[in-house]
């Protein structure tokens, strides 16, 4: 790292990925800051400076060895950070840079026979709450929320009609009779729609989201809050506001669609709140052209439903239609190291693999997992020549479709 780069970091001050410390701190304090960075998005600790950016210089002898020992003795799993010293940042004063990447595991500080998990929130490092820690383990793939049982729910809270339709029509599989409770329980436990952990049988999070009679009774975050505005900004006088609720998947009978799932309900909301052009093709046949291609709309909705963070219980998926754009905001950070750029390249990583598998069975998802580059990007380019915007905020991922 160049001297000019260090000076620029110091000028900007502490933030989520930069920690400024004097090298007179103890090993426990250093370990806490490093763990907080690893458990967040990675970053760097600059040693030899005050919190306000003043360069005090490093004074500790054998500083690199001390840093490495602290990372091995105080951090589990142990860490080997990148270490570099930059000389004469100020005349005669040197600083050290200790850099770590985002961890693939969840790290903790081990001290006095006690483990403590830290995270970075803005410019502060603090102990993770139980809810934050649970989400952190989920992000690192340490457990699967979607296969956990939902307290208070029973087999009767699942829609047997949808379950029968899924197994018989989608999977071409025989199902037990309605009266055969044991048979249904065995089938649903084996397919992770039910869980029998702890000696009790209850629907899993995925089971309720997909097939629940009323998923929001147990999972208030299981839905989409939709609003259509008349202009280009949020407005109290919206054209329509609608909480879209229900199971994800539709119900199909011998005559076709019987009840919509969340995807179909949302597509209908978008269509009635966006424009349509009617043209005569070849001067004879009428052709309707919607503001946004349905393929891009459906993929955007499915992406939000399948990949959102369901541990964020106080936040729904948000759909907002404006005069010049459509936005779908999905709660939670992107999972497993995924970035918007990697998504555009077709990189695949699912937070909720079971939901993804079921929605693929219904034909909502491609087996290649290339929905964003193939369905959203290509269909929008062909439709109106625009590129979708993929926006990652602190706790929300937004797909924005443009109507120039």
Q: What does the domain layout of the chain look like in residue ranges?
A: 3-142, 146-217, 223-402
User: According to the model, what pLDDT value does residue 26 have?
Assistant: 95
Tell me if 89 sits within 8 A of 6, measured CB to CB. Answer: yes
CA distance 209 to 63: 53
User: According to the model, what pLDDT value does residue 75 have?
Assistant: 94
User: According to the model, what pLDDT value does residue 347 have?
Assistant: 67
Topology of domain 223-402, CATH:
Heat Shock Protein 90 (3.30.565)
User: According to the model, what pLDDT value does residue 288 have?
Assistant: 72
Residues 6+ apart with CB under 8 A from 339: 392
* CATH H superfamily, domain 3-142: Schlafen, AAA domain (3.30.950.30)
User: According to the model, what pLDDT value does residue 141 have?
Assistant: 63
User: According to the model, what pLDDT value does residue 33 have?
Assistant: 96
Low-confidence stretches of the chain (pLDDT beneath 50): none
């Amino acid at each position: 790292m160049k001297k000019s780069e260090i000076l620029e970091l110091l000028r900007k001050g502490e933030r989520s990925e930069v920690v400024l410390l004097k090298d007179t701190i103890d090993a426990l304090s250093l370990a806490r800051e490093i763990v907080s960075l690893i458990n967040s998005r990675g970053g760097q600790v600059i040693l030899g400076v005050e919190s306000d950016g003043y360069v005090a210089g490093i004074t500790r002898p054998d500083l690199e060895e001390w840093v490495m020992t602290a990372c091995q003795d105080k951090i589990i799993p142990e860490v080997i950070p990148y270490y570099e010293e930059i000389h004469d940042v100020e005349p005669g004063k040197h600083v050290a840079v200790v850099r770590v990447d985002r961890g693939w595991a969840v790290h903790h500080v081990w001290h006095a026979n006690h483990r403590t998990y830290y995270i970075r929130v803005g410019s502060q490092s603090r102990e993770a709450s139980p809810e934050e820690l649970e989400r952190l383990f989920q992000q690192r793939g340490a457990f699967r929320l979607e296969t956990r049982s939902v307290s208070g729910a029973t087999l009767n809270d699942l829609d047997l009609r949808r379950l029968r339709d899924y197994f018989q029509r989608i999977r071409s599989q025989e199902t037990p009779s309605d009266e055969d409770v044991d048979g249904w329980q065995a089938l649903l436990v084996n397919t992770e729609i039910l869980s029998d952990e702890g000696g009790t049988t209850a629907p899993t999070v995925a089971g309720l989201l997909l097939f629940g009679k009323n998923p929001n009774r147990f999972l208030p975050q299981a839905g989409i809050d939709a609003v259509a505005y008349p202009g280009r900004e949020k407005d109290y006088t919206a054209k329509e506001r609608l909480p879209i609720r229900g199971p994800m998947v539709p119900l199909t009978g011998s005559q076709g669609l019987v009840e919509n799932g969340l995807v179909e309900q949302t597509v209908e909301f978008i269509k009635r709140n966006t424009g349509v052009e009617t043209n005569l093709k070849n001067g004879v046949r009428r052709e309707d052209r919607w503001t946004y291609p349905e393929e891009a709309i459906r993929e955007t909705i499915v992406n939000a439903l399948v990949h959102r963070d369901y541990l964020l219980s106080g936040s729904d998926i948000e759909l907002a239609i404006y005069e010049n754009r459509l936005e779908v905001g999905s709660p939670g950070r992107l999972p497993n190291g995924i970035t918007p750029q990697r998504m555009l390249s077709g990189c695949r990583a699912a937070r909720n693999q079971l939901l993804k598998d079921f929605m693929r069975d219904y034909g909502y998802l491609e087996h290649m997992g290339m929905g964003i580059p193939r369905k959203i990007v290509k269909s929008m380019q062909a439709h109106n020549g625009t590129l979708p915007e993929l926006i990652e905020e602190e706790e929300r991922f937004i797909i924005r479709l443009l109507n120039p």
